[in-house]
């Protein structure tokens, strides 16, 4: 069995997070995930461990997905990450 992919999910909506994780797992991926939705929690988890991939919601109540991705890239420029495109 392959090692689990460490996924950091920046998502404020619990139902959306569940759908994302279910979709990834149904495709056969072995996922070990954490979910955050605040800038402080994101900063804390970025310091605690490294992540294989980070997925960000575009519309967060306290900050936006692009700001979250900037934090990720500042912490570890090689972390694959994704957010919605800028209109």
What is 55-82 written as a DSSP string?
EE-SB-SSSBHHHHHHHHHHH-TTS-EE
- What is the value of pTM for the model shown? 0.85
Domain CATH for 59: 3.40.50.2300
CB atoms within 10 A of CB 57: 20
The answer to whether position 71 is within a domain reads yes
Q: Which domain holds residue 15?
A: 5-82
- 70-79 tens-digit pLDDT: 899 899 888 8
How many domains are there within the chain?
1
Q: Is the pLDDT of residue 1 over 90?
A: no
Report CA Rg, the chain.
Answer: 12
The answer to whether position 87 is within a domain reads no
- 29-87 tens-digit pLDDT: 999 999 999 999 999 999 999 999 888 888 888 888 888 888 998 998 888 766 666 55
Closest Cα partner for 60 from 32, 25, 35?
35
The answer to whether position 26 is within a domain reads yes
The answer to whether position 11 is within a domain reads yes
The answer to whether position 16 is within a domain reads yes
């Amino acid at each position: 069995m392959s090692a689990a992919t460490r996924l950091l999910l920046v998502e404020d909506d619990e139902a959306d997070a569940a759908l994302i994780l279910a979709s990834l797992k149904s495709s056969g991926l072995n996922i070990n995930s954490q979910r955050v939705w605040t800038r402080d929690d994101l900063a804390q988890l970025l310091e605690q461990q490294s992540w294989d991939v980070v997925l960000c919601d575009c519309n967060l109540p306290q900050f936006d997905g692009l700001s979250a991705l900037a934090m990720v890239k500042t912490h570890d420029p090689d972390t694959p990450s994704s957010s919605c495109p800028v209109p």
